[in-house]
Copies of this chain bind each other. A is one copy, B any other.
Amino acid sequence: MADTRYFVGLDVGGTTMKAAVVDDSGTAFPAVSLPTEPERGAEAGLERMCVAIRQAIEAAELSLDDITAIGVATPGLMDIKLGLILDPPNLKPWRNVAVPQYIRAKFNKPVAFQNDANAAAFGEFWVGAGKDVDSFVLFTLGTGIGGGIVIGNKILEGEHSHGGELGHVRIASPTEGRLCGCGRRGCLEAYASATGVLGRAREETAACREPTVVRQLIRDKGEELTAKDIFDAAATGDPLARKIVDDTAYYLALGACNVIATVDPKMIAYGGGMIAAGPSFLQTIIEYVHRFALDYPGSQVQIRYAQLGSNAGFIGAAGCARNLVLGNPEPTVPVLDHGR
């Protein structure tokens, strides 16, 4: 390849947006972060996205002319094909915001648009944990659980932009399981997200008759208690905390089993804050997968932690921009027909 091409990747979260220039090989220049402040409205948010993109180009000591295309990732709900943020709970009060169209008009560059978890999965697929495999699934473990599926360099977006909504794979009864943020019961997210871990910790502590440091943690920290506190307590050997962490691995494995029976990927990876729990947590997930998944694919699938941390989203967004100009068979951003 004669000249390296440069792409800007922008990952918009509910609190922060993060952007960087990423080159053809997936190497990122220094990233910039700006507060999203969604409460200031969509127009202000779109303008801040443009600021972040400009600052990222400056941080790379490049000019806009050096940029081949731009990729933007935003949280759901969205309509990827139409290029719309619909009504995402963590970007309130934004509704029906045409993100890529706005950015394309400002910069006069091709703009790819993608769900944030899909973009993170694509980043890990491109240059992270999944860089050597052809089919890859990422679970992102945070307050909620997101997911992304990449098969043959293509994100499985789904017909209604809900492909890879792996936090809502159901692992327990839809009538008696734990209540999920989506309003339904029994979703993986209700059990294995940070929120799910804390909910189980509180309930199991209330029901527990043995001594446990979790009881003291709940008293001391109240609403400040985090899933990390529970994992830390498990690391010290507290039996209840260990059970809660072990159950978390079990629930994650059940989610993986359903992905194996549906997509049968070469690799499943876990990202997000919870992976700080380290190798033993991953090993427990793997053991449950071996026990409960279809024998052959369950024994063959590679199970790993993600490698790019919070950079996965903007690197993946840049990768989507690269795919867009390299002739990804499905254009990610159609031109809106304003005449209609």
Q: Which residues of B contact A184 (CB under 8 A)?
A: 292, 294
By Cβ-Cβ distance, the 6 closest A-B pairs, closest first, are: A158-B264, A162-B264, A159-B266, A162-B297, A160-B297, A163-B264
Q: Verify if A134 is at the interface (C-beta below 8 Å from B).
A: yes
A250-270 CB mask vs B (1 if < 8 Å, else 0) is: 000010011111111110000
- Copies of this chain present in the complex amount to 2
Most chain B CB inside 10 Å of its own CB: which residue of A159, A160, A254, A296: A159
Whether A166 contacts B300 in the complex (CB less than 8 A), given A174-B254, A254-B174, A294-B182, comes out as no
Taking a contact as CB atoms under 8 Å apart, the answer to whether A159 and B265 are in contact is yes
User: Looking across the interface, which residue of chain B has its beta carbon closest to that of A174?
Assistant: B292
Distance to closest chain B CB from A114 (angstroms): 14
A179-199 CB mask vs B (1 if < 8 Å, else 0) is: 000111000000000000000
A170 to B291, CA, bound (A): 13
A264 to B261, CA, bound (A): 15
Q: Which residues of B contact A183 (CB under 8 A)?
A: 295
Q: Verify if A156 is at the interface (C-beta below 8 Å from B).
A: yes
Q: Which of A104-159 contact B (CB under 8 A)?
A: 133-135, 149, 151-152, 156-159
Taking a contact as CB atoms under 8 Å apart, the answer to whether B257 and A259 are in contact is no
Q: Which residues of B contact A174 (CB under 8 A)?
A: 254, 257, 291-292
Taking a contact as CB atoms under 8 Å apart, the answer to whether B170 and A264 are in contact is no
Most chain B CB inside 10 Å of its own CB: which residue of A135, A166, A171, A263: A263
Q: Which residues of B contact A163 (CB under 8 A)?
A: 262-264
A58-97 CB mask vs B (1 if < 8 Å, else 0) is: 0000000000000000000100000000000000000000
Q: Which residues of B contact A330 (CB under 8 A)?
A: 152
Number of interface residues of A (CB under 8 A): 47
Chain A contacts to B: CB under 8 angstroms = 77, 133-135, 149, 151-152, 156-166, 168-171, 174, 182-184, 254, 257-266, 291-292, 294-297, 300-301, 329-330
Q: Which residues of B contact A254 (CB under 8 A)?
A: 170, 174
Taking a contact as CB atoms under 8 Å apart, the answer to whether B294 and A257 are in contact is no
Whether A160 contacts B296 in the complex (CB less than 8 A), given A170-B254, A174-B254, comes out as yes
Taking a contact as CB atoms under 8 Å apart, the answer to whether A169 and B258 are in contact is yes
Distance to closest chain B CB from A151 (angstroms): 7
A261 to B258, CA, bound (A): 10
Q: Given B151, B159, B263, which contacts A300 in the complex, CB threshold below 8 Å?
A: B159
- If A135-B159, A156-B263 are given as contacts, then 15 extra A-B residue pairs at C-beta distance below 8 Å, sorted by A number, are A151-B156, A152-B329, A159-B297, A160-B296, A160-B297, A162-B294, A165-B297, A168-B261, A169-B261, A170-B258, A183-B295, A184-B292, A258-B258, A258-B262, A262-B263
A265 to B171, CA, bound (A): 20
Q: Which residues of B contact A159 (CB under 8 A)?
A: 133-135, 264-266, 297, 300-301
Most chain B CB inside 10 Å of its own CB: which residue of A163, A301, A329, A330: A163
Whether A158 contacts B297 in the complex (CB less than 8 A), given A163-B264, A169-B261, A261-B165, comes out as yes
A276 to B99, CA, bound (A): 47
Whether A170 contacts B135 in the complex (CB less than 8 A), given A158-B265, A182-B294, A263-B156, comes out as no
